[in-house]
């Protein structure tokens, strides 16, 4: 298999010659009220993949014209989009070499070809080898996949993107443009963290496709899902985990001659209101759930001159999602807007594990969020899947509401016995616009299910579809 590989390094951010005259101000907390008569095509009890004893779920999901595909740490399953009836299910180890351990499985839908791309990292701890496995579905049904394996690191410690560095790869995120697949991955060597970007050409057959590789980037870089056809795709990363006041940006310039001609450059960072990582979520039973470290857990949405993303951060003593609309160009140093919701009057709910989908507009954007909700001090509160929808113009939130799609059977227990005192909870939900009806969005999350008491491994994946 002939694969062209070029390693390119990019600095984290452009040096500033003078202070930015603009000052990033935090948008006020916006109370989102329950929706009245919100039309849903899929009933709230549309249950999908269940736990195989692992935690957290590491959920990834995508939707085609006919099919839902859900991937967890151990399983890939497909469902009829109209009925949620399962059409196939199988272990992810079938997509690896010699049943190797799976890390960071991810799936994404290509609206141009109406196919899915499955990507995962697998490894052999004994030999030190790692592989990146890529599979493309034959059609929208996702019953059959075709693919190939690419060695990331061999037993001699050589890596596909930097032959002199034996990186450990983790944290895959998938993005795309009309003619490219983008893969961003965290990697580390000798306790030094960084990110790598791979740019693949779309098309079939997949084996032999050229790709471009960019190394030594800031940790936790995520790619965009580009809705139009620009020549530039913008990747972003937080300035640092656990807090900061900047978003770093990289511009991947797409070449007409294929991925081997793609180049990457650093853009000026965006100043945002300072944030810190969210505290652990305290359930009414005083057991705590992990709310993450503040990274962007999903791909950005890029359209025209703008891109959107969301992460979970601290708001006083609670966890809240903060969404951003940023510019693609390097000129503007401030977000176009930020948005932080709450579902209760005094803001004492925890909203975490958030993802977003966007329908961009000339005057206002239509946004959908999926998140996990728990209310502190409310005796009957359990971790619940909620979906929020609303419209947003320049610095103005309008007509926001939320719906509870599904509730856990009971609060999660056994967290105090974990090493860090918290139960693992999936840090990645999924929200996507329906490819056949863009007035609807699908949301995917995990909830605790089974016979109480429920632990961190007692979960299943839930989905819902709501209208704007």
Spans of the chain, pLDDT less than 70: 1-27, 37-45, 98-99, 125, 149, 151, 153-160, 162-167, 190-191, 204-209, 394-395
For residues 31 and 348, is the Cβ–Cβ distance under 8 A?
A: no
Evaluate whether residue 463 is within a structural domain: no
Tokens standing for residue 463: 């989905």
Evaluate whether residue 3 is within a structural domain: no
Q: Which domain holds residue 263?
A: 26-37+55-454
List the Cα angle 302/273/336 in 5-degree steps: 35
pLDDT of residue 6: 32
φ, ψ of residue 376 in degrees (nearest 5): -70, 135
Work out how many domains the chain is built from and give that number. Answer: 1
pLDDT of residue 190: 63
Tokens standing for residue 182: 């983008």
Tokens standing for residue 23: 């000052």
- For the chain, what is the total number of helices (H) and then of strands (E)? 0, 35
- In the Cβ-directed half-sphere of 162, how many Cα atoms lie within 13 Å? 19
pLDDT of residue 157: 57
- Nearest-angstrom CA–CA distance, 279 and 310: 17
For residues 63 and 48, is the Cβ–Cβ distance under 8 A?
A: no
pLDDT of residue 38: 57
pLDDT of residue 402: 93
pLDDT of residue 331: 78
Q: Could you give the C-alpha distances from 248 to 9, 41, 46, 255, 332, in angstroms and in order?
A: 15, 38, 38, 23, 13
Tokens standing for residue 36: 């009245």
pLDDT of residue 208: 55
For residues 406 and 370, is the Cβ–Cβ distance under 8 A?
A: no
pLDDT of residue 37: 64
pLDDT of residue 28: 79
- Nearest-angstrom CA–CA distance, 54 and 74: 8
Pairing of strands 337-342, 318-327: antiparallel
Q: Could you give the C-alpha distances from 61 to 77, 181, 298, 355, 383, in angstroms and in order?
A: 10, 17, 11, 12, 20
- Nearest-angstrom CA–CA distance, 446 and 60: 11
Evaluate whether residue 8 is within a structural domain: no
- Nearest-angstrom CA–CA distance, 164 and 249: 26
- Nearest-angstrom CA–CA distance, 134 and 150: 8
Query: What residues contact 400, with CB distance under 8 A and at least 6 apart?
Result: 30, 32, 33, 341, 388, 389, 390, 391
List the Cα angle 363/42/341 in 5-degree steps: 45
For residues 370 and 444, is the Cβ–Cβ distance under 8 A?
A: yes
pLDDT of residue 298: 94
- Nearest-angstrom CA–CA distance, 38 and 35: 6
Give the count of beta carbons closer than 10 Å to the beta carbon of residue 80: 13
pLDDT of residue 158: 60
φ, ψ of residue 124 in degrees (nearest 5): -120, 105
Q: Which CATH number belongs to the domain containing residue 351 in this structure? A: 2.130.10
Evaluate whether residue 49 is within a structural domain: no
pLDDT of residue 256: 92
pTM to 2 decimals? Answer: 0.91
Evaluate whether residue 201 is within a structural domain: yes
pLDDT of residue 159: 64
φ, ψ of residue 54 in degrees (nearest 5): -105, 160
Among 289, 317, 282, which Cα is nearest to 415's? 289
For residues 226 and 234, is the Cβ–Cβ distance under 8 A?
A: no
Distance from chain centroid for Cα 375: 24
């Amino acid at each position: 298999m002939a694969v062209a590989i070029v390693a390119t390094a990019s600095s984290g951010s452009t040096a500033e010659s003078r202070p930015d005259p603009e000052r990033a101000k935090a948008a006020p907390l916006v109370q989102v009220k329950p929706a009245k008569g919100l039309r849903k095509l899929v009933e709230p009890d549309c249950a999908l993949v269940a736990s195989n004893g692992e935690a957290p779920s590491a959920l990834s999901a995508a939707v085609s014209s006919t099919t839902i595909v859900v991937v967890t740490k151990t399983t890939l399953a497909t469902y009829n989009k109209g009925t949620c009836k399962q059409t196939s299910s199988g272990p992810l180890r079938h997509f690896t070499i010699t049943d190797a351990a799976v890390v960071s499985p991810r799936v994404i839908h290509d609206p141009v070809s109406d196919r899915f791309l499955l990507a995962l990292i697998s490894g052999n701890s004994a030999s030190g080898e790692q592989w990146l496995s890529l599979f493309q579905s034959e059609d929208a049904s996702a019953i059959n996949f075709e693919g190939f394996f690419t060695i990331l690191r061999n037993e001699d410690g050589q890596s596909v993107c930097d032959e002199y560095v034996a990186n450990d790869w983790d944290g895959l995120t998938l993005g795309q443009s009309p003619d490219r697949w983008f893969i961003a991955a965290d990697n580390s060597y000798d306790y030094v963290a960084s990110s790598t970007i791979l740019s693949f050409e779309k098309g079939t057959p997949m084996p032999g496709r050229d790709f471009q590789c960019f190394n030594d980037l800031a940790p936790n870089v995520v790619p965009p899902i580009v809705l139009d056809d620009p020549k530039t795709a913008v990747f972003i990363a937080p300035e640092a985990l656990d807090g900061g006041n900047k978003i770093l940006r990289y511009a991947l310039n797409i070449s007409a001659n294929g991925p081997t001609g793609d180049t990457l450059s650093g853009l000026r960072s965006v100043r945002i209101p300072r944030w810190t990582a969210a505290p652990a979520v305290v359930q009414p039973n005083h057991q705590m759930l992990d709310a993450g470290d503040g990274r962007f857990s999903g791909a950005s949405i890029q359209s025209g001159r703008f891109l959107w993303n969301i992460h979970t951060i601290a708001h006083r003593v609670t966890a809240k999602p903060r969404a951003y609309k940023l510019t693609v160009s390097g000129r503007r140093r401030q977000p176009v807007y930020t948005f932080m919701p709450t579902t209760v009057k005094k803001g004492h709910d925890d909203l975490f594990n958030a993802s977003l989908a966007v329908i961009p507009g000339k005057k206002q954007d239509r946004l959908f969020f999926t998140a996990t909700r728990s209310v502190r001090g409310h005796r009957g509160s359990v971790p619940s899947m909620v979906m929020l929808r609303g419209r947003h113009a320049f610095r103005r939130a309008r007509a926001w509401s939320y719906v509870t799609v599904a509730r856990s059977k009971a609060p999660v227990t056994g967290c105090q016995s974990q090493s860090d005192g918290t139960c693992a909870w999936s840090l990645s939900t999924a929200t996507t616009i329906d490819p056949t009806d863009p007035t609807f969005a699908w949301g995917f999350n995990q909830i605790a299910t089974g016979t109480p008491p429920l632990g961190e491994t007692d979960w299943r994946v839930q989905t819902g579809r709501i209208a704007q």
